[in-house]
Structure 1
Amino acid sequence: MSRVLIIESSARQQDSVSRQLTQRFISQWKAAHPADTITVRDLAVNPVPHLDANLLGGWMKPQEQRNTQELEALARSNQLTDEVLAADVLVLAAPMYNFAIPSTLKAWLDHVLRAGVTFKYTETGPQGLLIGKRAIVLTARGGIYAGSASDHQEPYLRQVMGFIGIHDVTFIHAEGLNMGRDFHDKGLNQAIARLAEVA
């Protein structure tokens, strides 16, 4: 039995293509893996604060020196990190906003990329600690960017996942969604076909 953690980051609820892909993924994954557990964290419904002094204090100060805000920030980071540590499969649903990921997803990443917890520094450089996990990234894009210099999603997320030790990363792009009906349908159908293979 595997544990799947899904991170939703689209600001849109209805008409969100990344959410459509997520729902299709869930139904297909459940059909193929009925014993698995799936947890969904929706960063639009429950946004994570951006990295601030309270979170840094919660991480870095001795226990007795932390104030109430720092303790709360640390507890939130611990909860988010524990979810990632417990997961076997991590699914990131990431629409492209201004050539990159939503700021809500970046804020979540800032909470879970933690020295000594999800990675560590060694004499030979940083080492990821989440070995053996798998990640699936579902993107929705108005244009066609895969493999181009304008794609700041996939290279960034590959680097971030690798940094914490997740090297088995599959990207499924729904592209051309705002380029007319033909491009929209083609991009969405291609993503749906890839989803079926992955699930």
Structure 2
Amino acid sequence: MQILRIDSSTTGDQSITRKLTDELLTHFTTKYPDAKVVTRDLVAEPLAHIDPITTSAIRTPPETHEEAVAAAYPEERAVLDEFLASDVVIVGAPMYNFSIPSQLKAWIDRLGVPGVTFRYSAEGPEGLAGGRKVVVGSARGGAYSTDQIAENQESLLATFFGFIGVDDLHFVRVEKAGFGPDAIAAGMEAAKQEIARL
């Protein structure tokens, strides 16, 4: 049993999503006390945005790798293997400018691997990375789940994880964070109740 925690917020101690991932990790380690916990802080140790070398390392067979790609492969593949080895994946995903932090996008770019996490067939795309629970701790300044306002944060994550076959996906959110401390406190309390039901 392995639990993977991913954090991507840049706001340090003020981060709502880091508080959510704290709560989620406590919940799941209480539920699975013997689980191995792996953490990846994408701010403290950011992944580089993909480039031609890392893209080749991620997406092409090792036997085809030239020297620079072969050198990049172990570190790039380790990100994917860490995800695939995990039974529960906790993702802290704040909304930044209607989407996710670029640090989190760099992590996602290492998970979408043809032939490993998805494949195309005559029937269309097929996700291959099911069999794990993914829980996203989401925070945003407005009320995007009730207002008809475009957002590319939770929708992007739902689309991506669905595409690679994750069908056990949950969002635990704090909305109206921009409305002040009372709204945040109310959101956190509701989120804790949601977490208890997972």
Q: When the two structures are superposed, what TM-score results if normalisation uses the length of structure 2?
A: 0.91
| 2-structure distance, mates of 1:5, 1:123 | 34
Q: What SS does structure 2 have at the residue aligned with 1:10?
A: coil
Q: How far does residue 145 in structure 1 lie from its aligned partner after superposition?
A: 1.0
**Are the equivalent residues in 2 in contact too, given 1:4–1:39 (CA < 8 A)?**
yes
Equivalent runs, 1:1-199 vs 2, <5 Å: 2-58=1-57, 59-60=59-60, 63=63, 66-68=66-68, 70-147=69-146, 148-198=148-198
Query: SS in structure 2 opposite 1:75?
Result: helix
User: Alpha-carbon deviation of 1:61?
Assistant: 7.3
Find the aligned partners of 1:60 and 1:34 in 2 and give their Cα distance: 38
State whether residues 24 and 90 of structure 2, in contact with CA within 8 Å, keep that contact through their aligned partners in structure 1: no
The Cα of 1:65 is off from its aligned counterpart by 5.1
Task: Give the conservation status (yes or no) of the 8 Å contact 1:77–1:112.
Answer: no
Tell me which amino acid in the other structure corresponds to 2:163. F
Residue aligned with 1:14, SS:
helix
CA spacing shift, 1:88–1:188, aligned 2, 3 Å: same
2:151 aligned partner, one-letter code: D
Q: Which runs of 5+ in 2 are unaligned?
A: none
The 8 Å contact of residues 119 and 126 in structure 1, kept in 2 or not, is answered as yes
Cα RMSD (Å) = 1.7
Q: Distance in 1 between matches of 2:49 and 2:133?
A: 26
How far has the Cα of 1:161 moved from its partner?
0.5
Cα deviation for residue 94 of structure 1 reads: 0.4
Partners of 2:83 and 2:164 lie apart in 1 by 11
| 3-state SS of paired residue (2:125) | strand
- In the aligned structure 1, how far is the partner of 2:160 from the partner of 2:64? 32
The one-letter amino acid of 1:115's match is P
Does structure 2 retain, via aligned residues, the 8 Å contact 1:177–1:188? no
* C-alpha separation in 1, matches of 2:61 and 2:27: 45
Secondary structure of the 2:92 match is strand
Q: C-alpha displacement at 1:80, in angstroms?
A: 0.5
Instruction: Give the Å deviation of 1:173.
Output: 0.7
Q: Which moved more, 1:84-93 or 1:143-152?
A: 143-152
Question: CA 1:65/1:34 → structure 2, altered by over 3 Å: closer, same or farther?
Answer: closer
List per-residue Cα deviations over 1:14-50 (Å, max 9, x = no partner): 1111111111222222222212222111101111111
Report which stretch shifted further, 98-107 or 149-158.
Answer: 149-158
